[in-house]
Amino acid sequence: MAYFYLFTIWMLLAGGGWVVWSRFARSETARQRLFASVAASPEVAQTDLRRMGLFRRWLYRAGFRGASDPSIFLTATLFSVLLGVGAATLFVLAGFQESFVASVQLIPGGTGEVFLPAAYLSPWILGISTACIPWLYVRRARRTRVQQFDQDLPLALDLLSTLSESGLGFDVAISRILDTRLGDRPLGKELRSYQADLLAGRSRIECLRRLAWRVNVSGVTILTSALVQAEQIGMGIAEVLRRQALDMRSRRREKANMFALSLATKRMFPLVICFLPGLFVWTLGPVFIQLIQMADAFVRVRDF
């Protein structure tokens, strides 16, 4: 009977996931047709990025910008959920959970009672962890992308400010930067999208705002805000870029100092959990064994 219930739950999850995926695929197709039919409208051309839902926006900012990427993600999530349910079911039916619980209960001193809840919930932990694999992959991609922006932005700012001070225009300086190794990085790809927006007839202010929205990184947002303000009031771009480069260096220096100051706190956990217990066992273990043997011998002599 338990097998029947588990199989029924598994089939219900599979059917529900298929229904959700098919409805999302139909709505995505209808959305693409709608945007394609009104793409010539100036209002839609300025607000098409803001029409994305939270799910598509999350994938877009992580670098997954293909039309089929949401469907692929949902399919991978459905497969991961089914795989997690199957792994949890196999974990229970094969007796691994009972063996795990029995092993935890055998820990001397009653210490294993602390880990019993985790042992009983181990199938759920296994299933949920397996189901979250696609989400963790996209989250990792987003973090890697943000780190690459943080690494490349100071160098790009220095190059932009130097080229602007030498007499080149802002757009020409961006073209020169794209000829360097930064052209194949995420920042270079976003700058190419910025140039494509300019060629499409949008204003520079709108292109900068779209760039900040696509990237959604604090350093790029600050830079684009300063450039938009300079464009609106008629300031020189070279002076703004030089000031932004200096501010970027200051922020990176402060971030490095904060990371150095936090090392003492961050190493406390591995030191207390991993290093000190082994040190105590190695140094004080023989002493405690001798004390226990002496106490046992004393008790035997007294009983005699």
| pLDDT score, position 37 | 41
Instruction: State the angle between helix axes of 96-105 and 69-93 in degrees (0 to 180), rounded to the nearest 10.
Output: 60
| pLDDT score, position 29 | 58
- Kindly state the greatest CA–CA separation across the chain: 102
Torsion angle, alpha carbons of 203, 207, 209, 212, to 10: -170
Q: What is the spatial distance between Cα 127 and Cα 88, in angstroms, rounded to a whole number?
A: 5
| pLDDT score, position 21 | 60
| pLDDT score, position 300 | 72
| pLDDT score, position 140 | 94
Using alpha carbons, select from 222, 218, 217, 214 the residue that is nearest to residue 57: 214
| pLDDT score, position 139 | 93
| pLDDT score, position 169 | 83
> How does DSSP classify residue 185?
S
| pLDDT score, position 35 | 42
Q: Say which residues have a Cβ less than 8 Å from residue 282's Cβ, sequence separation at least 6.
A: none
Q: List the chain residues with pLDDT less than 50.
A: 1-5, 31, 34-47
Say if residues 141 and 186 touch (Cβ distance below 8 Å): no
Tell me how far apart the terminal alpha carbons of the chain are, to the nearest angstrom: 60
| pLDDT score, position 41 | 39
Using alpha carbons, select from 61, 217, 226, 245 the residue that is nearest to residue 150: 217
Q: What is the spatial distance between Cα 22 and Cα 75, in angstroms, rounded to a whole number?
A: 10
Say if residues 174 and 208 touch (Cβ distance below 8 Å): no
Tokens encoding 150:
């943080």
| pLDDT score, position 145 | 92
| pLDDT score, position 4 | 47
Q: Would you call 170 exposed, middle or buried from its count of C-beta atoms within 10 A (0-12, 13-18, 19+)?
A: middle
| pLDDT score, position 34 | 43
Q: What is the spatial distance between Cα 133 and Cα 232, in angstroms, rounded to a whole number?
A: 45
| pLDDT score, position 18 | 61
Q: What is the spatial distance between Cα 176 and Cα 180, in angstroms, rounded to a whole number?
A: 7
| pLDDT score, position 106 | 75
Q: Which sign, positive or negative, has the C-alpha torsion 287, 293, 299, 304?
A: negative
* Boundaries of every domain in the chain: 2-131, 143-262
Say if residues 188 and 283 touch (Cβ distance below 8 Å): no
Using alpha carbons, select from 245, 231, 248 the residue that is nearest to residue 160: 245
Number of H helices, E strands in the chain: 15, 0
Tokens encoding 103:
């092993």
